[in-house]
Structure 1
Amino acid sequence: MIKLSDGGAYLINGVDIVEDSASAVNEVAAKTGCSVTKEEAAKNTIAYGILENHNTSGNMEKLKIKFDKMTSHDITFVGIIQTARASGLEKFPIPYVLTNCHNSLCAVGGTINEDDHMFGLTCAKKYGGIYVPPHQAVIHQFAREMLAEGGKMILGSDSHTRYGALGTMAMGEGGPELVKQLLNKTYDINRPGVVAIYMTGEPAKGVGPQDVALAIIGAVFGNGYVKNKVMEFVGPGVSSLSADFRIGVDVMTTETTCLSSIWRTDDKVKEFYDIHGRSESYKELNPGNVAYYDGVVYVDLSTIKPMIAMPFHPSNTYTIEELNANLEDILHDVEKKALVSLDGQVEYKLTDKIKNGRLYVDQGIIAGCAGGGFENICAAADILKGKSIGADEFTLSVYPASTPIYVELARNGRLADLMETGAIVKTAFCGPCFGAGDTPANNAFSIRHSTRNFPNREGSKLQNGQISSVALMDARSIAATAANKGYLTAATDVDVEFTGPAYHFDSSIYANRVFDSKGVADPEQEIQFGPNIKDWPEMVALPENLIIKVVSEIHDPVTTTDELIPSGETSSFRSNPLGLAEFALSRKDPAYVGRAKEVQKAEKAREAGQCMGEALPELRDIMHKIKETYDVHKSNVGVGSTIFAVKPGDGSAREQAASCQKVLGGWANIANEYATKRYRSNLINWGMLPFIIDKGELPFENGDYIFIPEIQDAIKNKVSTIKAFVVNKDMKEFELKLDELTDDERQIILDGCLINYYRDNK
C-alpha cells in the first residue's frame, strides 16, 4: 500500500518521479529539456514558496516566520494571553481566534470552565480578536471554514493545526510560540526538509480518509521518515479525492511527527471555498516543473484497505482484514505491548473481546476534527440507514465538527437516519479525543474516528485501577461495525450505495453567534477573571551552576505529552499553573509531584536567602562533596529537578507538559531524543534545558543528584557538550549534549523563561 524512497527524488511536471542517483540530473534534463541543480529544484516545492513568502530573516536556511493568523482553544488560550499580558501585550497584531471546544461541557470544576470562556470573550473584545462560543465548532473545523487561505500560514496552540489540504501551511505549537507572534516576534526554525507524499489511483468504495492516514502513519512514524519535515501531497491521485477527504487525511499528518503539511490545490478545493462564501481565499498551488524532495512516500490509493490502529498509538496499524484473520495473535501482541505502556499497573486484556470467533467492540465514536466532517457522517448514515445498532453494550455517538455541518445534516435527513438506528448525535466537542467525553466502561474497547488512542487518552485512570482502550478507524468501518451491532466489520464488506449529498454552508449560524472584533481593540474593556485563573509564579534566571535531582525515570520507547500532563478533567485546571501542576505525571509516575516539590524546597530557601540544607537535609552531603572540587554556595548554584525519558513529547502541543515541570522546580529534561520539535520548544520557552544523552547505559538513576558546573557560561558561549557529574560518595563525570539553539532561545533559558525574556528585554 505504501512505499518509501531510500533518498531524495525529483518530481517532473507534477507527475513523474526520478529518484536521486548519480544519473538523476541527466535523466531529468532528458525528460525536461533543461538542466536544473538539486538546490534549484528544492526551491520549486510548494512548501518552499510559502515559507519564503513568510520568512523575515532574508536567509532561507535560518527562518524567522511571521504567520498570517492564529487560533487557540479553551485549554490553551488563557495561559497564552496571560503570558502575553505579562510580557507587554497591547493588541492582537493578527487575527486570533479563540474557540471553545475542549472545556465546553462545563461539567466539572464548578464555574471554572465558563470563567475561562468569559475571559476569552472579554479578551477578544479588549485586544481585537474573534471568539467562538462553546458547541459552535471544534477549533480546526472553524479554521477550515473561516480562516484558511491559499498560500497563507496559520499557527495554532493545538498539535492538529493542519489546513494543508486547503492550501494553508499550518503548524501546531505550544503556547509560548503564539505569545511570540502576539508580541510581533517570529517563529525561528531551520529550513525544514520537504517530503513528497506522491498519490496515485483512487480509493476503493468504503475506504475513507482515516484509512489512508493510518496507512501512511504506520509506514513512517517508527522510522522517523518525515519527523520535523513538511509533508507535501502531490501526484495525480490527489485529484481523485474530495476536499473533505483530503482534510481527513491532512489532519492526521500530526501523528507522523512531521512539522507541517501542504497539498497541491485544484477545482475541488476552489469549490470548498466557493461553498463557504470565500472564493477569494482560493489559490492554485502546484510544485514547479522540476521540484526536488528529500524523500518520497508512494501512496497507491487503490491498494489502501480499511485500517485499524490498535491501542496504544496511531502507528500500531493493521488492515481490518489482517486483524480479523489473525485475531488472537494480534490481540495477544497488543496485550504484551500494554505491559510497557501501562507499566503493569492494571490487568489489561483484549482477547476476552473475542465472541464467536469475532472481535466485539463496546463503543463507536465519530467525532472531532478528524471524524466529524460532513462527508464522513453522511457516509456513516448511508451504511446505517434502516438498521439498528442494537440494545446491548455497543453504543454509537456522532459529533459533527461544527454547527453548520449539524444543521445541514438535519436539513438533508441524515441526522434522523442516524438517530433512528440508536446512535446519539451530539454538538461540536473535542472531548472524545482527550478523555472528557464518552469515557468507556472499565475494560471496554472503543473504536473511534478521532485523532489519538494513547493510553488513558479516552479518560480511564490507571491510578484508580481503571483501563479502557481505543482503536482508531474510519467512520465508514465504524458504521459498518455498528450495523453489525458491535462486531468489527470493514466498510468494504457491506453492500451500500453512497449518496454523496451536496453540502450547503449556512453562514448565518456564525454571523449570529461568533463575536468578531474585525481587528478593532477596545482598551477600555475589562477582562473578566474567575477564581481559578491565576498568574504564572515568579521564575528565576538560570544560575551560574546547577544541581538537579532525577525525580522520574521513564524507559518507554516514547513518552507522550498526555503522560507528562494528563488530559481529561485535568483540563479544567489549565488556567491555574500551580493547580494543574499537581497532576503532572500522575498517570505515569504518581510519586513525581511529591519528589519534585521536596527538591523545590531547597531552591525556594535559596531564593529567600535561607539555608538550602535546612530545607532539604539530604542536600548537605551533596553540597559538601561538590565543594571539594568547586566553589559553590547558595548565591551561585541553583537546585531543581529533572526527568529522564527515552523519547518524550509525542502528541499534543500543550505547553503545560513543560510548564508544569517548571513550576514544580524543574530545570531540565534529559532524553535520548525529543519526539517533536514543539515539545523541545516548550521546554526552552519555559527556561528548561533540553539535554540529550547518548543511548546506552545511563550514568545516573532515579533519585541521583547531578551537578552541572558553569552551565550559565556554557549557554552563553554556545557550548554543545556539557560536563556533568553524578554526585554520590564520589563525583562521576559524564557528558550531556545540547542540540542547536538560536540566540533568542539561549537568552530565554538564561533569563529563566519567555516571560522574563520579554520583561527584561523591552
Structure 2
Amino acid sequence: MVTLLEGGAYLVNGTQIIPDNQDAAARIAAETGRQVTKEEAAKETIAYGILESHNTSGNMDNLKIKFDKLTSHDITFVGIIQTARASGLTKFPIPYVLTNCHNSLCAVGGTINEDDHLFGLTCAKKYGGVYVPPHQAVIHQFAREMLAGGGRMILGSDSHTRYGALGTMAMGEGGPELVKQLLNQTYDIKMPGVVAVYLTGEPVRGVGPQDVALAVIGAVFGNGYVKNKVMEFVGPGVEKLSADFRIGIDVMTTETTCLSSIWKTDREIEEFYEIHGRKEEYKELNPGNVAYYDGLVTVDLSAIRPMIAMPFHPSNTYTIEELNANLDDILCDVEKKAQVSLDGAVNYSLHDKVRNGKFHVDQGIIAGCAGGGFENICAAADILKGQYIGADEFTLSVYPASMPIYMELIKNGCAATIMETGAVMKTAFCGPCFGAGDTPANNGFSIRHSTRNFPNREGSKLQNGQIASVALMDARSIAATAANKGVLTPATEFDATLGKYKYHFDSKIYANRVFDSKGVADPEVEIHFGPNIKDWPAMCELPENLVLRVVSEIHDPVTTTDELIPSGETSSYRSNPLGLAEFTLSRKDPAYVGLAKDIQTAQTAVMKGKCPLEAKPELKPVMETIHTRFPEAGEGNIGFGSTIFAVKPGDGSAREQAASCQKVLGGWANIATEYATKRYRSNLINWGMLPFLIEEGPLPFTNKDYLFIPGIRKAVEEAQDTITAYTVTPEGLTPFPLTLGDLTKEERQIILDGCLINYNRVK
C-alpha cells in the first residue's frame, strides 16, 4: 500500500521517479536533454516556490515568513490576543479569523465560555478581525470555505491547520507564533526538507480518505520519515480524488509530525473555489519539469483497504480485515501498549468486546475537520440507507463541519436518511476530537472519524479511575459498523451503492451571522472581559545561574500535549493562566503541580527582593553544596525553578498551554532526548523556557533531584554548543552535558528576556 524510498528522488515531468543515485544525472539528461543540479531541482518543488514568495530574509536557508492570514479557535484566541495586547497590539495587520468551535457546548465553569466568545467578538470589532459564532463552522472547514487560496500561506493556532489540498501551505503553531505575526514579526525556520507523496491508482468502493491517511501515518510516524518536513502530494493518483477526499487525507498529515503539506492542483480544485464563490483564489500548482525531493512516499490507492488506528495513537494502524482475522493477538498487543500509555493506573481490556468471535464497539462518531465533510457524510448516509443502528448500547453521532454543509445535507435528504436510522445529527463542534463531548461509558470503545485517539482524548479521567478508548476509522466503515449494530465491519464488505452528490454552497449563512470587519478596526470598542479572563503573571529575565528541581520524570516513548495539559473540560479555564495551570500533568503526574509550586516559592522571593533560602529553607544545603565549587553564585545572579524530563514530549496539539502552564508555575526548562514536534519546542522558547536536549541513556538525575546550571545566561548569549549542568547531592556536584539545539538570534533573545511578552516590551 505504502512504500518509502531510502534517500532522495527526482520527479521528472510530474510522472517519472528517478532515485538519487550515481545514475540519476545521466537519466535526467536523457529524459530532458539538459543537465540539472540537485540544488536547481530542489527549487522546482511547489513548496519551495510558496516559501520563497513569503520569505522576507532574502536567504532561503534561513526563512523569515510572513503569512497571508491567521486563524484561531476559542481555546487559544484569548491567550493570543492578551499576549499581543501586553506587547502593544493596536490593530490586526492581516486578516485574523476567530472561530468558536472547541468549547461551544462545554458547560464547565459557568459563564466562562460565553464570556470568552464575547471577548472574541469585541476584539474582532476593536482590532479589525472576523468572528465566527459557535455552531457555525469548525475552524478548518471555515478556513477551507472562506480563507484558503492558491499559493497562499495561513498560520493557525491549531495543529490541524492544513489546507494543502486547496493549494494553500498552512501551518499549525502555538499562540506566540501568531502573536509575532500580529506584531509584524516573522515565523523563523530553516528551509525544511520536502518529501514527495506520490499517489497512483484509484481507491476501491468503500475506501475513504481516512483509510489512506491512516495507512500513510502508520508507515511514516514511527521512523520520523517526514518529521518537520513538507509533504508534497503529486502523481497521477491525485486526479482520481475529489476535493473532499484530498482534504480528508491532507488534514491528517499533522499526525505524521510533518511541518506542512501542499498538493498539486487541477480542475477539481478550481471547481471547489467556483462552488464557494471564490474562483479568483484558484491557482494551478505543479512541480517543475525536474523537481528534487528529500524523500519519496509512494501510495498505491487501489491497494488501500479500510483501516483502523487502535488506541492510543493514530499510527497504531491495521486493516480492519487484519484486525478481525487476528483479534486475540492484536488486542493483546494493544492492551500491553496501553499499560505503558496509562502507567498501569487502571485495568484496561478489549477482550470483553469480543462476542462470538466478533468485535463489538459501543459508539460511532463522524465529526470535525476530518470526518464532518460533505462527501463523508453523504457516503455514510448511503451505507446506512434502509438500516437502523438498533436499540442497544451502540450510538452514532454525526457532526457536519459547517452549517452550509448541514444545510446541503438537509436539502439532499442525507440528514433525514441518517436520522431515520436512530443516529443523531449535531451542529459543528470539535468536542469529540478532544474530549469535550460524547464521552463513552467506562470501558467504552468508540470508533471515530476524527483526528486523534490519544489517552483520555475521548474525555475519560484516569485520576477518577475511568477509562474509555477511541479507534480512528473512516466514516464509511463507521457507517457499515453502525448498520451492523456495532459489529466492526469494513465498508468494503457492506453492500451499498455510493452515490455522487453535487454540493451547493450557500454563502448567505455566513453573510447573515459571521461578523467581518473587512479589516477596519474600531478603537472605541470596549473589550468584554469575563471574571475568568486574567492577564499573564509577571515573568523575569533569564538569570546568570539557575537552580532547577526536577519535578516530573516521564519515560513513555512519546508524551502528548494532552498529557502535559489535558484537553476537554479543563480547557474552559484556558483564559486564566494560573487557573488552567492547576491542571498541568494532572492525568499523567498528579504530584507535579505541588512540587512545581514548592520550588517556585524561592523564585517568587527573589522577584520580591527577599531571601529565597528563608522562603524555602530546604535550599540551604543545596546552596552550600553549590558554593563548594561556585562560591560566587548567590544573591542577584541566581534563579530558582522547575524542570521536567520526558523522552519525547510535545506530540499532538499546538496549544501553547502545554508550555505556558509550566512557565506560570515556575518552569524554566524541559529536558528531553528529542522533541516530538517543532511547535512544542517553539512554545517552550516563546515562553522563555530552555529546550534542553540530553543524550539517550541512563539519566544523571532522578525525580526531585536539584540541578545547578552555572553561566546559563552567558551560554545562551554566546550560543554555546554544550552546557555543563550539575546534579546536586549531599555527596557533591556531578557534571553532565546538555545542549539547546539550533536557536535563532531572536529565539535566544526571547529566552534571555524571559518570554515573548518581555521580548516585545524590551523592543
Q: How does 1:469-618 map to 2 (within 5 A)?
A: 469-618=469-618
For 1:654 and 1:530, the matched residues in 2 are separated by: 21
Please name the residue that 2:694 is paired with: 693
Please name the residue that 2:641 is paired with: 640
Give 2:635's aligned amino acid. K
Q: How does 1:357-376 map to 2 (within 5 A)?
A: 357-376=357-376
Q: Deviations over 1:685-720 (max 9, x none)?
A: 000000000000100000100000000000001102
Please name the residue that 1:84 is paired with: 84
Please name the residue that 2:757 is paired with: 755
Asked whether the equivalents of residues 162 and 171 of structure 2 are also in contact (C-alpha less than 8 Å), the reply is: yes
Asked whether the equivalents of residues 4 and 296 of structure 2 are also in contact (C-alpha less than 8 Å), the reply is: yes
TM-score of the two chains, using structure 2 as the length reference: 1.00
Q: Deviations over 1:173-193 (max 9, x none)?
A: 000000000000000000000
Please name the residue that 1:628 is paired with: 628
SS in 2 for 1:408: helix
Please name the residue that 1:741 is paired with: 743
Asked whether the equivalents of residues 439 and 459 of structure 1 are also in contact (C-alpha less than 8 Å), the reply is: yes
Q: Deviations over 1:87-132 (max 9, x none)?
A: 0001000000000000111422100000000000000000000000
Please name the residue that 1:665 is paired with: 666
For 1:236 and 1:669, the matched residues in 2 are separated by: 45
SS in 2 for 1:231: strand
Asked whether the equivalents of residues 151 and 167 of structure 2 are also in contact (C-alpha less than 8 Å), the reply is: yes
SS in 2 for 1:661: helix
Please name the residue that 2:717 is paired with: 716
For 2:92 and 2:608, the matched residues in 1 are separated by: 37
Give 1:719's aligned amino acid. Q
Please name the residue that 2:98 is paired with: 98
Please name the residue that 1:388 is paired with: 388
User: 1:397, CA displacement in angstroms?
Assistant: 0.2
Please name the residue that 1:248 is paired with: 248
Give 1:706's aligned amino acid. L
Q: Deviations over 1:465-486 (max 9, x none)?
A: 0000000000000000000000
For 2:355 and 2:425, the matched residues in 1 are separated by: 28
Please name the residue that 2:449 is paired with: 449
Give 1:320's aligned amino acid. I
TM-score of the two chains, using structure 1 as the length reference: 1.00
Give 2:325's aligned amino acid. A
For 1:165 and 1:57, the matched residues in 2 are separated by: 27
Asked whether the equivalents of residues 720 and 740 of structure 1 are also in contact (C-alpha less than 8 Å), the reply is: no
For 1:676 and 1:384, the matched residues in 2 are separated by: 39
User: 1:500, CA displacement in angstroms?
Assistant: 1.4
SS in 2 for 1:410: helix
For 1:577 and 1:607, the matched residues in 2 are separated by: 19
For 1:151 and 1:185, the matched residues in 2 are separated by: 21
User: 1:615, CA displacement in angstroms?
Assistant: 1.6
Please name the residue that 1:706 is paired with: 707
User: 1:655, CA displacement in angstroms?
Assistant: 0.2
Please name the residue that 2:200 is paired with: 200
Give 2:288's aligned amino acid. G
Q: Deviations over 1:632-675 (max 9, x none)?
A: 11311000000000000000000000000000000000000000
Please name the residue that 2:124 is paired with: 124
For 2:723 and 2:351, the matched residues in 1 are separated by: 49
For 1:262 and 1:271, the matched residues in 2 are separated by: 18
For 1:652 and 1:103, the matched residues in 2 are separated by: 15
Asked whether the equivalents of residues 612 and 634 of structure 1 are also in contact (C-alpha less than 8 Å), the reply is: no
2:42 paired with 1:46: no
For 2:74 and 2:607, the matched residues in 1 are separated by: 34
For 1:2 and 1:634, the matched residues in 2 are separated by: 60
Please name the residue that 1:459 is paired with: 459
2:280 paired with 1:280: yes
For 1:162 and 1:662, the matched residues in 2 are separated by: 29
For 1:167 and 1:414, the matched residues in 2 are separated by: 29
SS in 2 for 1:79: helix
Asked whether the equivalents of residues 106 and 114 of structure 1 are also in contact (C-alpha less than 8 Å), the reply is: no
Q: How does 1:158-237 map to 2 (within 5 A)?
A: 158-237=158-237
Q: Deviations over 1:491-534 (max 9, x none)?
A: 00011111111000000000000000000000111101000000
Q: Deviations over 1:338-390 (max 9, x none)?
A: 01000000000101100110000000000000000000000000000110000
Q: Deviations over 1:570-589 (max 9, x none)?
A: 01000000000000000000
For 1:434 and 1:408, the matched residues in 2 are separated by: 26
* CA RMSD, Structure 1 to Structure 2 (Å): 0.5
User: 1:555, CA displacement in angstroms?
Assistant: 0.1
SS in 2 for 1:387: coil
Asked whether the equivalents of residues 533 and 575 of structure 2 are also in contact (C-alpha less than 8 Å), the reply is: yes
* Moved segments of 4+, more than 2 Å: none
Task: Classify 1:106/1:308 alpha carbon distance in 2 versus 1 (closer, same or farther; 3 Å).
Answer: closer
Asked whether the equivalents of residues 2 and 216 of structure 1 are also in contact (C-alpha less than 8 Å), the reply is: yes
Please name the residue that 1:682 is paired with: 683
For 1:59 and 1:361, the matched residues in 2 are separated by: 53
User: 1:41, CA displacement in angstroms?
Assistant: 0.1
User: 1:434, CA displacement in angstroms?
Assistant: 0.2
2:414 paired with 1:417: no
SS in 2 for 1:137: coil
Asked whether the equivalents of residues 582 and 593 of structure 1 are also in contact (C-alpha less than 8 Å), the reply is: yes
For 1:37 and 1:52, the matched residues in 2 are separated by: 19
User: 1:23, CA displacement in angstroms?
Assistant: 1.1
For 1:403 and 1:634, the matched residues in 2 are separated by: 60
SS in 2 for 1:236: coil
Give 1:757's aligned amino acid. Y
Give 1:337's aligned amino acid. K
Asked whether the equivalents of residues 62 and 190 of structure 2 are also in contact (C-alpha less than 8 Å), the reply is: yes
**Between 559-568 and 630-639, the greater mean CA deviation after superposition:** 630-639
Q: Deviations over 1:387-419 (max 9, x none)?
A: 000000100000000000000000110000000
Please name the residue that 1:379 is paired with: 379
Asked whether the equivalents of residues 551 and 703 of structure 2 are also in contact (C-alpha less than 8 Å), the reply is: yes
SS in 1 for 2:237: helix
Asked whether the equivalents of residues 165 and 250 of structure 1 are also in contact (C-alpha less than 8 Å), the reply is: yes
Q: Deviations over 1:125-183 (max 9, x none)?
A: 00000000000000000000000000000000000000000000000000000000000
For 2:343 and 2:606, the matched residues in 1 are separated by: 36
Asked whether the equivalents of residues 362 and 446 of structure 1 are also in contact (C-alpha less than 8 Å), the reply is: yes
For 2:77 and 2:563, the matched residues in 1 are separated by: 21
For 1:324 and 1:29, the matched residues in 2 are separated by: 50
Please name the residue that 1:731 is paired with: 733
Give 1:758's aligned amino acid. N
For 1:89 and 1:607, the matched residues in 2 are separated by: 27
> Size of the alignment, in residue pairs?
761
Q: Deviations over 1:275-297 (max 9, x none)?
A: 00000000000000000000000
Asked whether the equivalents of residues 645 and 671 of structure 1 are also in contact (C-alpha less than 8 Å), the reply is: yes
For 2:650 and 2:323, the matched residues in 1 are separated by: 29
